[in-house]
Amino acid sequence: MHEMSLAKSMYEIVEETARKNNARKVKSVQFELGALSHAEPDALSFAFEVVAHGTIAEGARFEIIRIPGKAWCVPCGRTVDLPRLGAPCPECGGHQLAVTQGDEMRIASIEII
């Protein structure tokens, strides 16, 4: 389950940020997760809760902001919605697509007190 290792890495960033800012508590974490990232949102939320147990981030609100998949199609020259990797262009059926959005996984914000 790669969501657990992702949650551990994310927590390390959250903890370091909180420590550098002399925080007493992490109130919330917003995480951007692309639809093409191959991470399961529910599993990631659960993993973060497990990793944060007994830490400065225990009980923090963990919000996932879903980023839709988009790609640029070489044959038709359009930016198109991409529901999953490997899907053809919905406009021309081509498979020469360059992902432009939706594969990101990043912390968008951390609220501390």
pLDDT per position as a tens digit, 24-50: 999 999 999 999 999 999 999 999 999
pLDDT per position as a tens digit, 74-87: 999 999 999 999 99
Q: What is the model's pTM?
A: 0.88
Six-digit token string for 12: 């390390």
- CA 61, distance to chain mean position in Å, is 15
4's enclosing H/E stretch is helix 2-20
| Residue 65 CB partners (closer than 8 Å, separation 6+) | 30, 31, 32, 33, 108
Domain boundaries, the chain: 2-68+102-112
CATH topology of domain 2-68+102-112: hypothetical protein PF0899 fold (3.30.2320)
